[in-house]
Amino acid sequence: MKSKVYLAPIPENTHHARQAALVKVLGALRPAMQYEEGALVPIKLTIGDSACVHHMSPELVKLVVEIIRAQGARPFLFDTSVIYQGSRQNAVDHMNLAYKKGFHEAAVGAPFIVADGLLGHDGREFEINAAHIKTIRVPSFVGILENLVVLSHATGHIFSGYAGAIKNVAMGMSCRPTKQVQHSSLKPSIAEETCTACGACIRSCPVKAIAFGGRKKAVIDPKACIGCGECLCACRFNAVLVNWDEEMDVFCARMVEAAAGILARFKKKVFITFAYEITQECDCISTKDDKLISPDIGILASQDPLALDKATTDLMKDTLGFLKGHQAYRGMLEYAQQAGLGSLEYEIVKI
């Protein structure tokens, strides 16, 4: 059976047109967005890093919040900390950036929280025993709350080629150690020039794989290291380096496994993708000067994240040839169907 994917085209690149399109999408989703009075409803979104300007606007997010609040439910916005250098490595900087960009209760009608705690470490672990990932650490409300709304901005991605709903869940709903595992099977290392010898990484390592070396700097023993990412969370000086060198298909497979492990723990899920201003880089690193790889499509939504991602990529017109050069996402979508994330067969419902 084909999954329904709702599409509200945006005839012109204006804020009014985007609002009108989202209102149509929310109307079509109304049967799937029924919540009990008092229910906590997490809304996953990404505000982008400090230089990003193409992320979804707080005004559009407010429309989603209002639909939920009108039913007496209690929505909240959330994201998690990142593993690269930037303004979202910890909850304090992340929340300050969110407020600066207008993602706060006074403007949107719901609070913004960083769901994996101060340093991206707080959460609970689940065994998923997938081919590439055995356990995931995720925000503690996963497996407790029944509802989930995922708002994604469609973009390109340097590794997978495309970033949408699946990537938003896999990376955006994982604690920093699980982000590290998804990005690389290679073990982290220490940058001597930035290491301050504070010892935080040594104290955090569960297998005692880190010690001070001859130059009074921390050193990771790669044979003893289990790649858990605890040191990444503990270091406050960007001295723990992530090895980004990984095969793209393995990276994509890990994202699928993490997303499947997370989404399996929610009963009611809705996914909305904002497919306009589609930059070649994801919102983590895109800037106002980033190239757009496709004309605007509109706002799409589904209860099936795989069908939503497949429909979005099928509708994208690759004007720069970016997707053709980054084909890993095709294998990612096929693997997602095998992992039970949804269906590659879909029906577009224009609204």
Give me 59's structure tokens. 């005004």
DSSP string, 197-264: ---HHHHH-TT--EEE-TTSSEEE-TTT-----HHHHH-SSS-EEP-----HHHHHHHHHHHHHHHHT
Q: pLDDT band for position 185 (50/70/90)?
A: low
Domain count, the chain: 2
Q: Are residues 73 and 136 in the same domain?
A: yes
Q: For the domain that residue 202 is a member of, what is the CATH number?
A: 3.30.70.20
Digit-coded pLDDT (tens) for 303-351: 999 999 999 999 999 889 988 888 889 999 999 999 999 999 999 999 9
Q: Are residues 60 and 204 in the same domain?
A: no
Angle at 207 between CA 201 and CA 211, to 5 degrees: 45
Model-level pTM?
A: 0.87
Q: Are residues 173 and 196 in the same domain?
A: no
- Determine the Cα–Cα distance for residues 99 and 219; give it in Å rounded to an integer: 38
- Determine the Cα–Cα distance for residues 238 and 182; give it in Å rounded to an integer: 19
- Determine the Cα–Cα distance for residues 120 and 205; give it in Å rounded to an integer: 15
Digit-coded pLDDT (tens) for 72-115: 999 999 999 988 777 898 999 999 999 999 999 999 999 999 99
Q: Are residues 104 and 192 in the same domain?
A: no
- Determine the Cα–Cα distance for residues 157 and 285; give it in Å rounded to an integer: 10
Q: Are residues 131 and 235 in the same domain?
A: no
Tell me the residue length of the chain.
Answer: 351
Q: Are residues 9 and 133 in the same domain?
A: yes
E-only strand ranges, 34-153: 40-44, 74-79, 112-114, 124-127, 135-138, 147-153
Q: Are residues 250 and 237 in the same domain?
A: no
CB-based contacts of 135, cutoff 8 Å, min separation 6 = 125, 126, 127, 128
Digit-coded pLDDT (tens) for 207-216: 899 999 988 8
Q: Are residues 324 and 198 in the same domain?
A: no
Q: Are residues 140 and 177 in the same domain?
A: yes
Q: Are residues 205 and 115 in the same domain?
A: no
From the list 345, 312, 310, 348, the residue with the least C-alpha distance to 331 is 310
- H helices of 30-102, in order, are 58-69, 91-100
Residue range(s) defining the domain that contains residue 215: 187-241
Q: Which residues pair with 162 in a beta bridge?
A: 156
